[in-house]
Amino acid sequence: MLVYKYMTLQGLDACLNNRTIRFTKPVNFNDPFDCAAAAADVAVEGLNIRTAGSTNADKLFLIRNGIGILSLTRNPLNPLMWAHYGENHRGGVIAIDTEEAGLECTETNIIPASAGNVIYTTVRPSVDGDHIPSHGEITAQHDRLMLERLFLYKSLHWSYEEEIRVARHVDPTRQVQYQELKIPISAIKAVYLGAKYSHALVDDWDRQLPRVHLKHRIYDIYRCRLDRQTWDLHAERYDPELPIA
């Protein structure tokens, strides 16, 4: 399966240089509701669940600090995604083959990519009365409905993301915000550069930004263009023999 990851220009360059993708703890997401199902025993302070014992609320708190999520999407040409996660159309997107990247393995992933379709709802999922295992015990073999409530439900507000998730265990140390996964070079199938990529380079007087189109030619590289009549983006193959424009 081919999926896509939006990034800033600096993040894109680091990803391509190091061949890594990042699993982030839900507690560090921009959505404070993410992976925080409703529980009657939740103690809330600014929507951060606080640990006190062995209640479901406590387990949710530990899960949000001990599980990493890789957020992917189906569409590399979503204008809203470019605006929110692609550095205002100045960044990039990588196309990842989930099989080659190891994102379908149920031994290393709690939720593989093929089972990671996010469910958008108007109602927050509840774990009242459920037995939630500790974060270290959660595996891909756990009850599917429970895994969905813990990791795959999001508010309908976020539906434009068309998100696909991969979940796995990460270092539970609170100071660690994310964990990187090394992937083979063959797993990266293409790179998309934003519609304002050339603008970013023109504005880069000190030449601090990476020239991704010059440094990384082992992938298919595409430039995003604005449609002249609609609100759509189009991808055009980039010819490295021609100047970026």
Tokens of 114: 């093929």
Which run of H or of E encompasses 140? none
Model's pTM, two decimal places?
Answer: 0.89
| Strand, coil or helix: 168 | strand
Which residue in the block uniquely carries the two structure tokens 């190891």? 102
Residue with tokens 């093929």: 114
pLDDT over threshold 70, residue 245: no
CA nearest to 236, candidates 208, 203, 196, 195: 195
pLDDT, tens only, 63-93: 888 899 999 999 999 999 999 999 999 999 9
Contacts of 153 (CB under 8 A, 6+ apart): 37, 118, 119, 121, 124, 125
Residue (of 141, 135, 133) closest to 115 by Cα position: 141
Q: Which residue has the higher pLDDT, 164 or 27?
A: 164
Most confident stretch, 87-101, 166-180, 229-243: 87-101
Q: Give the count of alpha carbons within 13 A of 201, CB side only.
A: 13
